[in-house]
């Protein structure tokens, strides 16, 4: 069964990685791209490398200086989460991060420092690791859990979102942490009525938004920063929502910001920011998919694409 999909660009190519729920994370690389009169006439992905990661959940590529790394969240009770390093030809094992039932991994930079935040869904807390010049070491324990973590920069501040209190805490809200200069501290508690499963931070036309996917609710939420706090801005229908994805693309006639909700029990929906009329996210399309696990937008050439991972296959759509 397929579990998640993500894309990255490095070494001049677009890569798509697809993780399964067994023991592999299949890495695909875009290799063949033929153009004629500025039009694509050939487009193929071929299998490039298979990384054996027990219960691979989510992955991220990132760089430190000239080095390229690939971190995978392992949703296993008995295996740590691995970090791979690019050797010029393939990814090779570099180190493991001590985790139990990791759901997501998020690399980010603050100044010259590189961090890896790991969201733990079942447990008492999550972890932040820091690069010490040679490897990642434990930096801070977050007394909160989560299935997703996202970092963003707002008003000169570095923030992490996606965590919520432990399984025995009362109330449903997303915790947002702020970098104090030496560690992450709780900055804001965002009430969500039902527990959040996935979060996505995005900025549109100078305004900061935070989209929250809710698994048990019949809708998911978009919050807007009003200068003091995040306030509810928009509510969209969803069933067993897993996550949000977003992209700002200059293609498809004009630059637009797209926001899509990944729902397991209904067709995923794509919204676009309407900057001229409603000043809201307006639905533009439903994607025919059953039991959707994950999705990702990516730009390639002069087009925007959408990869959709369901329980049986991964389909790639091209914007028109």
Beta-sheet strand order (sheet of 219-225) = 196-204, 207-214, 219-225, 230-237
R_g (Cα) of the chain, nearest Å: 19
> Are the C-beta atoms of 318 and 303 separated by less than 8 Å?
yes
Output the pTM of the full model.
0.88
Q: What is the pLDDT along the chain (320 residues), one digit of tens a residue?
A: 445 666 655 555 566 666 665 555 555 444 333 333 333 334 567 777 888 888 888 888 899 999 999 999 998 899 999 999 999 888 899 999 999 999 999 999 999 999 999 999 887 889 999 999 999 999 999 988 888 899 999 999 999 998 776 555 556 889 999 999 999 999 999 999 988 889 999 999 999 999 999 989 999 999 999 999 999 999 999 999 999 999 998 876 678 899 999 998 999 999 999 999 999 999 999 998 888 888 888 887 788 888 888 877 788 888 87
> Are the C-beta atoms of 199 and 174 separated by less than 8 Å?
yes
Q: What is the pLDDT of residue 42?
A: 41
Q: What is the pLDDT of residue 44?
A: 63
Give pLDDT tens digits for 246-262: 999 887 667 889 999 99
Give pLDDT tens digits for 263-315: 989 999 999 999 999 999 999 999 988 888 888 888 877 888 888 888 777 88
Q: What is the pLDDT of residue 31?
A: 35
Rounded Cα distance, 299 and 147, in Å: 26
Q: Which residues does residue 7 pair with via DSSP β-bridges, in sequence order?
A: 16
Q: What is the pLDDT of residue 312?
A: 76
Q: What is the pLDDT of residue 7?
A: 61
């Amino acid at each position: 069964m397929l579990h998640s999909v993500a894309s990255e660009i490095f070494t001049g190519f677009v890569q798509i990685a697809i993780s399964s729920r067994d023991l592999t994370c299949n890495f695909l690389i875009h290799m063949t791209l033929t153009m004629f009169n500025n039009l694509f006439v050939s487009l193929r992905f071929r299998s490039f490398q298979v990384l054996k990661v027990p219960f691979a959940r989510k992955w991220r590529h990132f760089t430190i200086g000239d080095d390229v790394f690939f971190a995978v969240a392992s949703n296993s009770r008995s295996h740590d989460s691995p970090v791979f390093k690019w050797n010029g030809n393939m990814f090779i094992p570099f180190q493991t991060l001590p985790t139990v039932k990791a759901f997501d991994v998020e690399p980010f930079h603050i100044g010259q420092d590189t961090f890896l935040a790991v969201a733990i869904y079942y447990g008492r807390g999550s972890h932040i690791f820091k690069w010490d010049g040679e490897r990642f070491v434990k930096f801070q324990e977050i007394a909160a859990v989560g299935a997703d973590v996202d970092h963003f920069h707002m008003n000169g501040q570095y923030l992490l979102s996606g965590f919520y209190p432990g399984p025995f805490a009362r109330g449903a809200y997303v915790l947002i942490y702020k970098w104090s200069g030496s560690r992450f501290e709780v900055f804001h508690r965002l009430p969500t009525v039902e527990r959040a499963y996935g979060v996505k931070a995005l900025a549109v036309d100078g305004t900061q938004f935070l989209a929250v996917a809710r698994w048990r609710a019949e809708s998911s939420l978009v919050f807007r920063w009003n200068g003091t706090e995040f306030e509810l801005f928009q509510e969209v229908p969803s069933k067993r929502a897993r996550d949000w994805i977003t992209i700002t693309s200059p293609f498809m006639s004009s630059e637009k910001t797209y926001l899509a909700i990944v729902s397991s029990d209904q067709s995923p929906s794509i919204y676009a920011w309407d900057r001229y009329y409603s000043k809201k996210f307006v639905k533009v399309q439903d994607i025919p998919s059953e039991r959707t696990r994950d999705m990702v937008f990516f730009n390639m050439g002069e087009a925007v694409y959408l990869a959709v991972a369901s329980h049986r296959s991964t389909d790639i759509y091209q914007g028109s």
